[in-house]
Amino acid sequence: MQHPDARTVVTDYVTLLAAGEREAAIALFAEDATWSYPGDLALSRTWRGKQEIFGDFLGRIGALFAADGLPVITLTHVLADGPQAVAEWTTVGTAANGAAYENHCLGVFTVTDGLITAVREYLDTDHVARTLLA
């Protein structure tokens, strides 16, 4: 069976997540996927498995935003080579504490058999600390 390439899978993931299609976005991840979040924040570590990634990690980040200020995600670039794709996106919203949040993010995604198996994210963790975690 022919699986979609890494560029397609990653573009679909970010587009679905940005559109609020959470379940469809989650379905693009392998059960044992990992997501590495940089820095020395309370959120910084390698999250393992769909439940940790979407329940514990991304769910916890979502709770840091105001109910009426949930982040808008905009995919700006995707470059792919074989099983890896590098995606760049912006995230703009309002933190639960009222602070304006705008971060430029980059993720290195690994795709195997049409599913995301690993993500290494890079972003301004100082901005996260000063706005979302302040």
Is residue 67 classed as helix, strand or coil in its secondary structure?
coil
Reported as a single tens digit per residue, the pLDDT across 88-97 is 999 999 999 9
pLDDT tens figures, 11-66: 999 999 999 899 999 999 999 999 999 999 999 999 999 999 999 998 889 899 99
Q: What local confidence, expressed as pLDDT, does residue 125 receive?
A: 97
Structure tokens at 50: 């769909």
Per-residue confidence (pLDDT) for residue 83, from 0 to 100: 97
The H or E element containing residue 24 is helix 22-26
Residues 131 and 129: their CA atoms lie apart, in Å, by 6
Dist CA 107 CA 110 (whole Å): 10
CB-based contact 111:6 (threshold 8 Å): yes
The pLDDT mean for the chain works out to 95
Whether residue 110 has pLDDT greater than 90: yes
Would you say 129 and 22 are in contact if contact means Cβ atoms under 8 Å apart?
A: no
In which residue are the tokens 């570590």 written?
45
pTM: 0.94
pLDDT at 50: 95
Please give the structure tokens belonging to residue 57: 């990690």
